[in-house]
C-alpha cells in the first residue's frame, strides 16, 4: 500500500477527521436530548394550562355584515389591519383569548361564494354568525342561509356552539339583538348552545362578551 508523506502526516490527517465524526455524533445526541426536553415541556405546559388550546372557528354571515371587521378587532392592536376590504372566497385569521388560540376561517358572504361554507363545516369546532342588524331587507336571506347551515349533515347532528353577533348597533336603523333573535327564530335551536350579542365592530363593543361565552362553551365540550 502506498502512502504520500510520512506516517506522522498521515496520523495528523486522521485525527481531525476522527474528532469531526465524534463532534457530529455528540451534536446529534444533544439535539435528540433537547427535542426530548422540549417535548416534555410542551406536554407539561398543556397539563398546567399554560399552553393555549387551538380551535377552528367558522365566521359566517352575509356580505357587508362586518365579519372581517369583527375578527380584525379581536386581534392584538399591533396585528390589526387599517384597511378592511371585502373577503373574496375566504381568509384565515388568528387571535387568542385567555385560554384558547383561535384559527378563524372568515368566509365570504357574497352570494357566489356561500356554497364554499359547507366544505369547512367538518373542520369547525364553533361558529360565529354575524348579522347586519340595520339591514332589515336582507334579514330574511340571513335566516335562509342560517337554516340551510343548521340542516347540513355536517352540522345538524353536532352539538356545536354558535355565537351570533347582531352587528352595527351604532347605526340608526339597527334593531335590537332581541328583535334579531326573533327574526331569525333562534328560539327554535334546541340541540346546540347559542348566544347572541349586540355589537359594534368598529368600536369593539360587545365582542369580548361573545368571545368569553364561546370560550366557555368550547372548553365545556372539550372536557
Binding site: which residues?
Answer: 61-68, 87, 109, 167-170
Antiparallel, parallel or unpaired: β 162-167 and 194-198: parallel
Over the chain, what HEC string results? CCCCCCHHHHHHHHHHHHHHHHHHHHHHHHHHHHHHHHHHHHHHHHHCCCCCEEEEEEEEECCCCCHHHHHHHHCCHHHCCCCCCCCCCEEEEEEECCCEEEEEEEECCCHHHHHHHHHHCCCCCEEEEEEECCCCCCHHHHHHHHHHHHCCHHHHCCCCCEEEEEECCCCCCCCCHHHHHHHCCHHHCCCCCEEEEECECCCCECHHHHHHHHHHHHHHHHC
Which one of the listed residues 80, 82, 110, 182 is annotated catalytic? 110
Residues at the binding site for GTP are: 61-68, 109, 167-170
Instruction: State yes or no: is 82 an active-site residue.
Output: no
Residues at the binding site for Mg(2+) are: 68, 87
Catalytic residue numbers read 110
Amino acid at each position: 500500500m502506498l502512502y504520500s508523506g510520512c506516517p506522522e502526516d498521515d496520523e495528523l490527517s486522521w485525527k481531525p477527521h476522527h474528532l469531526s465524526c465524534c463532534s457530529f455524533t455528540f451534536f446529534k445526541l444533544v439535539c435528540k436530548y433537547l427535542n426530548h426536553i422540549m417535548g416534555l415541556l410542551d406536554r407539561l405546559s398543556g397539563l398546567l394550562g399554560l399552553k393555549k388550546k387551538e380551535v377552528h372557528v367558522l365566521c359566517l354571515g352575509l356580505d357587508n355584515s362586518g365579519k372581517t371587521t369583527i375578527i380584525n378587532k379581536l386581534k392584538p392592536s399591533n396585528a390589526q389591519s387599517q384597511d378592511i376590504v371585502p373577503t373574496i372566497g375566504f381568509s384565515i385569521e388568528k387571535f387568542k383569548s385567555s385560554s384558547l388560540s383561535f384559527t378563524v376561517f372568515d368566509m365570504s358572504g357574497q352570494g357566489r361564494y356561500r356554497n364554499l361554507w359547507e366544505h369547512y363545516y367538518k373542520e369547525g369546532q364553533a361558529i360565529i354568525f354575524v348579522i347586519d342588524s340595520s339591514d332589515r331587507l336582507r334579514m330574511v336571506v340571513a335566516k335562509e342561509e342560517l337554516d340551510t347551515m343548521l340542516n347540513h349533515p355536517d352540522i345538524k347532528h353536532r352539538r356545536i356552539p354558535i355565537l351570533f353577533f347582531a352587528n352595527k348597533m351604532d347605526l340608526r336603523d339597527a334593531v335590537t339583538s332581541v328583535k334579531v333573535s326573533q327574526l331569525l327564530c333562534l328560539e327554535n335551536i334546541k340541540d346546540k348552545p347559542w348566544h347572541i350579542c349586540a355589537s359594534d365592530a368598529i368600536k369593539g363593543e360587545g365582542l369580548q362578551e361573545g368571545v368569553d361565552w364561546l370560550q366557555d362553551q368550547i372548553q365545556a365540550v372539550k372536557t
